[in-house]
């Protein structure tokens, strides 16, 4: 099963994507620096990019930079003068990301803030047009609260890795990350400011998925 998922990923990317030397260089630099290959897949990156274009995002916020692969996809959507702020706990990840972002030509539109996302978030003022939550999963509930504070009606909030190989359907799951995501779903469901759904994904990155929410008028 997993083999055909990977082949379909490859087919999608080969048929629909332009060559992406900057993205490939970032992934190679990440591997050389020993970062875990937990970036979004290329077509997921392009999906983020298209979403940002669809909502004509001028200010984008990302939680969890790693080597900046998703950051680069999002930064590509920005109009002139647009800005992306990305939050990363690990200085070593941020250093690799900064080089990748510079090489991709986004040094002036992307700002990396190093430290625990909750501390960085407390320093930020909104509104952002699109917020991509992809840092530590157990803290997603608190990240959602900040995302709402930093939103305006129409802001798009996208959360990565919310399916966890189906783990999220188990109320007794022992993984704090799964519990964090279940709490996130409950918060989203009970918050009249948000309209949301989630989509499963399969492919080279396994069985996972995104939660997509929009802030209501």
Which positions from 149 through 168 interact with ligand DHB, judged by CB under 6 A? 160-161
- Minimum distance between the CB of residue 132 and Mg ion, rounded to whole angstroms? 9
* Contacts of residue 43, Cβ cutoff 8 Å, sequence gap at least 6: 9, 12, 13, 16, 17, 203
Comparison of 42 and 82: residue with beta carbon closer to ligand SAH: 42
Helix, strand and coil content of the chain, in percent to the nearest 5, comes to: 45, 20, 35
- Minimum distance between the CB of residue 198 and ligand SAH, rounded to whole angstroms? 17
Q: Are 155 and 127 in contact (CB under 8 A)?
A: yes
- Minimum distance between the CB of residue 84 and ligand SAH, rounded to whole angstroms? 12
> Per-residue x/- mask for ligand SAH, residues 178 to 217, rule CB under 6 A?
----------------------------------------
Which positions from 22 through 81 interact with ligand DHB, judged by CB under 6 A? 38, 64
Which positions from 92 through 131 interact with ligand SAH, judged by CB under 6 A? 93, 116-117
Comparison of 88 and 134: residue with beta carbon closer to ligand DHB: 134
Which positions from 37 through 66 interact with ligand SAH, judged by CB under 6 A? 38-40, 64-66
Beta strands in 23-163 (DSSP E): 59-63, 83-88, 110-114, 130-133, 156-159
Q: How many residues bind Mg ion (CB under 5 A)?
A: 3
- Cα(123)–Cα(108) distance, rounded to whole angstroms? 20
Q: In a 3-state reduction of DSSP, which class is residue 148?
A: helix
- Minimum distance between the CB of residue 185 and ligand SAH, rounded to whole angstroms? 20
Comparison of 20 and 160: residue with beta carbon closer to ligand DHB: 160
Q: Are 139 and 118 in contact (CB under 8 A)?
A: yes
Residue 70's binding partner among ligand SAH, ligand DHB, Mg ion, none (Cβ under 5 to 8 angstroms by kind) is: ligand SAH
Options 134, 140, 168, 180; binder of ligand SAH; rule CB under 6 A: 134
Q: How many CB atoms lie within 10 A of CB 158?
A: 22
Q: How many CA atoms lie within 13 A of 64 on its CB side?
A: 21
Q: Which residues of 58-88 are buried (b: 16+ CB within 10 A; e: fewer)?
A: bbbbbbbbbbbbbbbbbbbbbeeebbbbbbb
Binding site for Mg ion (CB under 5 A): 134, 160-161
Binding site for ligand SAH (CB under 6 A): 38-40, 64-66, 69-70, 87-90, 93, 116-117, 134-136
């Amino acid at each position: 099963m997993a083999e055909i998922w990977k082949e379909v990923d490859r087919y999608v990317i080969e048929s629909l994507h332009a060559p992406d030397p900057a993205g490939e260089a970032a992934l190679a630099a990440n591997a050389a620096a020993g970062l875990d290959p937990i970036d979004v897949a290329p077509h997921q990156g392009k999906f983020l990019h298209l979403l940002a274009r669809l909502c004509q995002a001028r200010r984008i916020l990302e939680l969890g930079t790693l080597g900046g692969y998703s950051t680069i996809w999002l930064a590509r959507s920005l109009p002139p003068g647009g800005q992306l702020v990305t939050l990363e706990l690990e200085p070593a990840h941020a250093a690799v990301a900064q080089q990748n972002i510079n090489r991709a030509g986004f040094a002036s539109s992307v700002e990396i803030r190093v430290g625990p996302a909750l501390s960085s978030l407390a320093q930020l003022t909104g509104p952002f047009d699109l917020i991509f939550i992809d840092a530590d999963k157990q803290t997603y509930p608190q990240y959602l609260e900040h995302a709402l504070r930093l939103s305006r009606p129409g802001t798009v909030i996208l959360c990565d890795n919310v399916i966890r190989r189906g783990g999220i359907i188990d109320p007794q799951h022992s993984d704090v990350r799964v519990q964090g995501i279940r709490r996130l779903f409950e918060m989203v469901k009970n918050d009249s400011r948000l309209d949301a759904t989630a989509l499963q994904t399969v492919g080279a990155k396994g069985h996972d998925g995104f939660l997509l929410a929009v802030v209501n008028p």
